[in-house]
Amino acid sequence: MPRPLRLTIWNEYIHELEHDSVRALYPSGIHTVLADAISGLLGDRIQIRIATFEQEEHGLTYEALAETDVLTWWGHAAHDRVSDEVVQRVHTRVLNGMGLIALHSAHNSKIFKRLMGTTCMLRWREAAEKERVWIVDPSHPIAQGLTDEYFEIPHSEMYGEHFDVPQPDELFAISWFEGGEVFRSGCTWRRGKGKVVYFSPGHETFPIYHDANVQRIIANAVTWAAPTGGLYLGKGRNIPQSLSPIAAKHVVDESLHRPK
């Protein structure tokens, strides 16, 4: 049997401690609801670790990341206070193969913006409106197990276009909002050896992470973003010896080159 996938669920874990309304929905934190759900769906295939903002190095030490195959990220209130050093470390780890699942307000996290190279900004409205999530790539692995072409979230925060991200490699979901907007709510990109997923449904003041369809998509995304092996270099390599013969060598001034 292959070893279990090692998942780290990162949760900022601030709103749940500060606001009664959030704690009422997520008494042990969003991370606990996610962990229970993913564990329930994936069983022995997954091994879960929790990390939060308040932990030393946000719980994302070099060692912790080295033993993480996929990282989910939920943050909102403290984006700016996440350590640049930790962000750099997570970035490097993604490029070397770790999957990253950016959830909801993580669109505005340092790590997601760094991987995208854009502002990742969007419209939003918190009016408890209905969101209907349409699967526009029904055979995508992340959509497996859903039983219909769409599912509904009765009360959601609206995230709307224009969403300033590079065109996704794959677009698996588009959301319809009662108040009139649309949003590319399920997207994937690849960066280096790592797979990146963004999935927008999920908000601290609504019980969205208790929804079975949302849980199914997140569990699928975790599985999908598992590292593949394969060579990857990601650093400059001077190859002085050619593979095939070079006919006429021009004189090159070796003096002026420094290592890249």
Residues 6+ apart with CB under 8 A from 98: 65, 68, 69, 70, 71, 90, 194, 227
Nearer Cβ to a copy of itself, position 30 or 48? 30
Please list every residue from 10 through 39 that binds a copy of itself, using CB under 8 A: 15, 18-19, 21-22
Task: Give the Cα separation of 111 and 189 in Å (integer).
Answer: 14
Compute CA 145 distance to the chain's CA centroid, rounded to the nearest angstrom. 20
Query: Is 243 exposed, middle or buried (CB count within 10 Å of its CB: 0-12, 13-18, 19+)?
Result: exposed
- Shortest separation between residue 154's beta carbon and a copy of itself, angstroms: 8
- Does residue number 84 form part of the binding site for a copy of itself (CB under 8 A)? no
| Alpha carbons 186 and 135: distance in angstroms, whole number | 9
- Nearer to a copy of itself by Cβ, of 11 and 105: the residue is 105
3 lines the binding site for a copy of itself (CB under 8 A): no
Cα distance between residue 72 and residue 100, in whole Å: 6
Q: What is the Cα–Cα distance from 15 to 98, expressed in whole angstroms?
A: 27
* Length of the chain counted residue by residue: 260
230 binds a copy of itself (CB under 8 A): yes
Helices (H), 97-169: 110-116
Taking the complex as a whole, how short is the minimal distance between the CB of residue 240 and a copy of itself, in angstroms?
A: 6
Would the CA dihedral through 90, 96, 100, 106 be positive or negative?
Answer: positive
Binding status of residue 88 toward a copy of itself by CB under 8 A:
no
Q: Is 233 in the site for a copy of itself (CB under 8 A)?
A: yes
- Among positions 93-112, residues that touch a copy of itself (CB under 8 A) are 95, 97, 105, 108
Question: 130 and 156 in contact (C-beta within 8 Å)?
Answer: yes
By CB under 8 A, residue 251 contacts a copy of itself = yes
Rounded to a whole number of angstroms, the minimum distance from the CB of residue 56 to a copy of itself is 26
Among 32, 36, 50, 140, binds a copy of itself (CB under 8 A): 140
- Of 56 and 229, which CB lies nearer to a copy of itself in the complex structure? 229
Cβ-based nearer residue to a copy of itself, 50 or 78: 78
Among 186, 192, 201, 202, binds a copy of itself (CB under 8 A): 192
Q: Is 212 in the site for a copy of itself (CB under 8 A)?
A: no
Six token digits for residue 165: 């991200």
Member of 34, 104, 161, 215 binding a copy of itself (CB under 8 A): 161
| Position among 66, 169, 210, 212 found at the interface with a copy of itself (CB under 8 A) | 169
| Angstrom distance (rounded) from CA 39 to CA 147 | 21
Please pick, from the candidates 7, 204, 216, 221, the single residue that binds a copy of itself as defined by CB under 8 A: 204
